[in-house]
Amino acid sequence: MTLAQQVLAVNDDLPIRTDKPVHSGKVRSVYWLTEEDSARLIKEKGYDVAADAPLAIMVISDRISAFDCIWHGEGGIKGVPGKGAALNAISNHWFSLFKEHGLADSHILDIPHPLVWIVQKAKPIMIEAICRKYITGSMWRAYANGEREFCGINLPEGLEKDKALSDLLITPSTKGILKGIKGVPEVDDVNITRTNIEDNFAAFNFTAKEDIAVYEKLLKEGFGVISDALANIGQIFVDTKFEFGYVTDASGKEKIIYMDEVGTPDSSRLWDEKAYNEGKIIENSKEGFRHFLLNHFPDPDILLNKDRMDERSQLAVDNALPIEAIMSVSETYTKIAEKVTGKPVVVSENPKQEIIDVLKRDYGLVD
């Protein structure tokens, strides 16, 4: 089995029974189950959801996305070995910890394989819920250029790069393109204020205005649980992105849950605490891969300038990255997953066939 074969690069071509188009994002693909299969599994497995809730199979790939492009390596490697399993393992660990601490549930109902989740359909809240404990990245760049207001929050003078903020800041942005909201540009991933959300709560998919405080509470509590756990293994939780949605449980009660992934190297910045205390930044997240790309190409402006997206896309297509770079990313992801979970990340020999076999044998979802 070659390294390229161990990487699950294409995850939208599995023979999972579905009567809807497969939705494929940058990293995950979603297969919506038929009404019959959803109802059957809810009954057979005893999932705590409404009897007619739509279910989906969510398959993570090993693809790596950065600067809105998918990157590949030499030797036909179309992703990062172990990345998908590492991301899922980390998210699964945090979701379990959230339950232990009495926080909200997640959209995950079952984990048939390290690369697979069975999830319930949720009504997504159209906000990228971003939390920051340190000033770094895009916030620092804007601050260094003189900006002092972020998402309606005024920052004081005299802040220093990569230093802790006095409070945990919530700096939300839009999830997808939202139209017709006064003061909110019709583009994806644009910063918004709490006032924007309050004045247009229904447009952001909130059922009630009071639920804004619920999402903020869950965001802060989730950040705190992960931050405390990471501190115990010598890691600093710098910033992160959460997503939330609404579901209805078996009793008919609507509730807000965590969606997507949480506290992973893809959705968060993680720094090594010992190195930080010595004045160095060691990234244990995708941020390290972004830094690599910025140093690897002679014109980093292509990666940072949104007006050069066509050039950037071509750059990603035309350039196979050195195998050493790909394996370095693999090591970052698998090592942090093993630190977080206390268990080794097992890289499948033939991930696609393994997924097909388990979904056929244990769930009856492959003909």
Q: Read off the pLDDT of residues 263-303 as tens digits, 9 standing for 90 and up.
A: 999 999 999 999 999 999 999 999 999 999 999 999 999 99
Are residue 117 and residue 91 in the same domain, yes or no?
A: yes
Q: Is residue 300 one of the residues assigned to a domain?
A: no
CB 67 within 8 A of CB 309: no
Share of the chain above pLDDT 70, in %: 100
Q: Is residue 292 one of the residues assigned to a domain?
A: no
Are residue 29 and residue 86 in the same domain, yes or no?
A: yes
Statement: residue 41 has pLDDT above 90: yes
Q: Is residue 147 one of the residues assigned to a domain?
A: yes
Name, in order, each residue with C-beta under 8 angstroms of 192's C-beta and a sequence gap of 6 or more.
Answer: 127, 151, 172, 173, 174, 184
- pLDDT, residue 1, reads 60
Q: Is residue 264 one of the residues assigned to a domain?
A: yes
**pLDDT one-digit tens code per residue, 186-212:** 888 889 999 999 999 999 999 999 999
Are residue 108 and residue 40 in the same domain, yes or no?
A: yes
Name, in order, each residue with C-beta under 8 angstroms of 99's C-beta and a sequence gap of 6 or more.
Answer: 105
Statement: residue 348 has pLDDT above 90: no
- pLDDT, residue 182, reads 84
Are residue 26 and residue 159 in the same domain, yes or no?
A: no
Are residue 114 and residue 130 in the same domain, yes or no?
A: no
Are residue 157 and residue 91 in the same domain, yes or no?
A: no
Q: Pick from 256, 277, 298: which residue ends a domain?
A: 277
- pLDDT, residue 216, reads 96
Are residue 66 and residue 140 in the same domain, yes or no?
A: no
Statement: residue 94 has pLDDT above 90: yes
Domain extent at residue 357: 3-122+341-361
Q: Is residue 329 one of the residues assigned to a domain?
A: no
Q: Is residue 283 one of the residues assigned to a domain?
A: no
Are residue 149 and residue 271 in the same domain, yes or no?
A: yes
Are residue 111 and residue 213 in the same domain, yes or no?
A: no
Q: Pick from 225, 255, 277: which residue ends a domain?
A: 277
CATH number of the domain that 249 lies in? 3.30.470.20
- pLDDT, residue 145, reads 95
CATH number of the domain that 70 lies in? 3.30.200.20
Are residue 130 and residue 78 in the same domain, yes or no?
A: no
Statement: residue 3 has pLDDT above 80: no
| Range from 31-40, 139-148, 342-351 carrying the lowest mean pLDDT | 342-351
Number of domains in the chain: 2
Q: Pick from 277, 304, 325: which residue ends a domain?
A: 277
Q: Is residue 189 one of the residues assigned to a domain?
A: yes
Question: pLDDT-derived band of residue 307, with 50, 70 and 90 as boundaries?
Answer: very high
Are residue 40 and residue 175 in the same domain, yes or no?
A: no
Q: Is residue 309 one of the residues assigned to a domain?
A: no
Are residue 167 and residue 197 in the same domain, yes or no?
A: yes
